[in-house]
Amino acid sequence: MASDLDAQPLLRPSTRQAGTEGTTATVSISSNARISITSLPHSASDSDSHEHEDDVDLTYTYAYGPSGLLGLLHNKYALGCALFASIGGWVFGYDQGVIANVLVMKEFLLRFPVGAWEKGVLTASLDLGALVGALLSGLADHYSRKSAIFWACIIFIIGTALQAFALSIFWLVLGRGLAGIGVGALSSLSPLYITEISPPELRGSLLALEQAYMEGRASVKDPWLIAELKGWRRLLSTKYRDRTMVGVIVMVIQQWSGINALLYYGPTLLSSFGLGSSNATLLVAGGVGIVQFLAVFPAIAGIDHWGRKALLRGGSIVMGCAHLVIAMVIHEDSDDWAGHRTGAWVAVTCLYVFTFAYGLSYGPVGWVLPSEVFPTSIRSKGVALSTMSNWTNNFLIGLLTPGLIELSPAWTFMVFSTACFLGYLWSTYTVPETAGVSLEEIDKFFRSSVGKEDAELRGEIERELGLTDVIRRIWEDGRTD
């Protein structure tokens, strides 16, 4: 059978703008793949260009078709792999949807009487386990992404079985902690795996699928070997520090935006709106989950088109304003909800607005950014550390929210509003735009050479495999066209 490489390559040199360095050429090597090759800097004259003919930089990226929904349909294999990997997000989303309502069920409270502190511990135990699981995801460097995902699923199944047959709070907490280990590992491994199988123009859309699964609910080679800590210390070195801060802070803001406080304690928070019956409260809480799930679909369609930065900035402003209005309504009307029914429904509407804005911004982008800002050589550890940041703050939210609500529902929403406005400032001045660029090109924003170093290592591997000559022939054929 003839290979796609046997086809005559077609080359379209890009138009050089005055003052730009290098020339980019797009080479068609198969029916649905392109290679973009960039030459080293040279002058505009043809004679000067030929003098540098031997200095071709074989750094390239692959593109496999259009971005967005059309791209997903065009790349069925990548879509299928991403769908299955995204189930890792569903297991966490399902727990979020269940625990919020379980905590207010009469049958549960009769069998397991708990106060505010016990509720916090029970809820946060999964997050504490997930923090450990995020660290264990480093095993993917020693074994494989697929094997690590498999064993994370097994651990989650064991944890859920313990919860199903629990006879006391102790066994519930233990089961949730064990399930959390599986969830934490999957929350790191799934986006890592999706990033590595995705072409640049589809990374955002495919990673947003995991967020859809989260909302659709109805390396340490061996973690005990401390010698591997050297790899983790690299994340805090000058070369990687800025990237690490982006991965860590996006998770801090994602959690302190208040989304998981709402998902964990939705019915409890909504009761502060004076909605009356518990059935009405549960119905409104269910609507929050539906809104968040629906918001992810425009994110899938547009995350690569609009860009990460625009979504984060817009989402931060909308979420912050929604929380601020809720805090003001509770402060003014909570003493007499019966006489201020309109205020209660204004608060509910703002809650839906917040949820939609989150599902369109920090929901998917929070998982996209960490997997994009780190170079290949340290990506698994960078994503793991970012995921640990997520679960650490998730744990704090789960533990502290019941006490905050008892202290002051209005100030609880003010805390979340402040975090969102800080997120706007951070995303405006600190976050790089990663949409549609190769993982190595992000070097330019951070003014570092780590991506180039990874590319050089990749070049060595390509030379060993004999790929360099193939790419050079394509380049030279295009130059003579």
DSSP 67-113: SHHHHHHH-HHHHHHHHHHHHHHHHHHHHHHHHHHHTT-HHHHHHS-
pLDDT in tens, 69-97: 445 555 566 667 666 666 666 666 666 66
Residues 397, 473: one domain? no
Band (pLDDT 50/70/90 cuts) for residue 236 is: confident
Residues 397, 463: one domain? no
Residue 106 confidence (pLDDT): 78
The yes-or-no verdict on residue 476 having pLDDT over 80 is no
Per-range mean pLDDT, top range of 131-145, 159-173, 336-350? 159-173
Residues 247, 276: one domain? yes
Asked whether residue 205 is domain-assigned, the answer is yes
Asked whether residue 435 is domain-assigned, the answer is no
Burial class (CB in 10 A: 0-12, 13-18, 19+), 477: middle
Residue-range definition of the domain harbouring residue 220: 68-429
Q: How far apart are CA 52 and CA 40, in angstroms?
A: 8
Asked whether residue 164 is domain-assigned, the answer is yes
Average pLDDT, the chain: 72
Asked whether residue 35 is domain-assigned, the answer is yes
Residues 333, 455: one domain? no
Residues 26, 142: one domain? no
Q: Look at the alpha carbons of 163, 169, 173, 174 in this order and tell me if their dihedral is positive or negative.
A: negative
Residues 322, 366: one domain? yes
E strand or H helix at 388: helix 379-407
Domain count, the chain: 2
Residues 48, 89: one domain? no
CA distances from 21 to 40, 266, 434 (A): 7, 54, 21
Residue 420 confidence (pLDDT): 97
Per-range mean pLDDT, top range of 296-300, 420-424, 477-481? 420-424
Asked whether residue 434 is domain-assigned, the answer is no
Band (pLDDT 50/70/90 cuts) for residue 238 is: confident
pLDDT in tens, 448-457: 766 666 666 6
pLDDT in tens, 407-459: 888 999 999 999 999 999 999 999 888 877 766 677 777 777 666 666 666 66
